[in-house]
Chains A and B, each alone.
Chain A
């Protein structure tokens, strides 16, 4: 099945700095979903992107789906301590495999 690779694996930022995580696939994705998992918690759905070049915003979070539908990014503006957690992406058509995600630490 399709697999997506996510980078970076870890990111430490100062509170107020921006943060970006990337998902890359070697094959075209029908859609991509983003999840956030807080330490000790379970993955929580954030958003789904379906269209080529799609951009969606949720407050300080901006999600993009590449024109070729092979990559996606999540950008957080002015991180806060509440953004701490691991961010996962995967293709909704192959819910078999998650990557390791990007673990975000925010230093106050």
Chain B
């Protein structure tokens, strides 16, 4: 399968624990995006990368959220000291360049108990 893949697909964690999600974009795609989505809402933009450069991170929800894309290929999204309000689906997407079609992964569901 050559689509965007995300891992893990589901994560249940206790409040206060750290979690990390991984995203492998479509190969050759140089842009990678992270979104969060809660029930009944549209995807909420968090951050995006052009190759390894993080071009926008002001919309990360708090300083507990961080993302990396060290080699310009896969990316990780880490949430430190999780809170119940962090429970959501975290979506990764990639595109070849600005304006091109964005392809989403199946998402990583986070439940904080």
User: A-side interface residues toward B, CB under 8 Å?
Assistant: 30-31, 33, 35, 41-45, 48, 86, 88, 92-93, 95-101, 103
Taken together as a complex, chains A and B put the C-alpha atoms of A100 and B40 apart, in Å, by 8
- CB-defined contacts of A101 to chain B, threshold 8 Å: 42
- CB-defined contacts of B43 to chain A, threshold 8 Å: 43, 88, 98
By the criterion CB–CB under 8 Å, are B48 and A42 in contact? no
B contact residues, range: 20 to 34
* Min CB–CB distance A70 → chain B (angstroms): 17
A-B contact pairs, 21 of them (CB 8 A): A30-B99, A33-B101, A33-B102, A42-B89, A42-B91, A42-B104, A43-B43, A45-B101, A45-B103, A45-B104, A48-B101, A88-B42, A92-B99, A95-B48, A95-B93, A95-B98, A95-B102, A96-B48, A96-B59, A98-B42, A98-B43
* Min CB–CB distance A102 → chain B (angstroms): 10
- CB-defined contacts of B35 to chain A, threshold 8 Å: 98
By the criterion CB–CB under 8 Å, are A100 and B101 in contact? no
**Given A44-B104, A96-B56; 18 other pairs, CB 8 A cutoff:** A35-B104, A88-B42, A88-B43, A92-B98, A92-B99, A92-B100, A93-B99, A95-B48, A95-B93, A95-B95, A95-B102, A96-B45, A96-B48, A96-B59, A98-B43, A98-B45, A99-B42, A100-B40
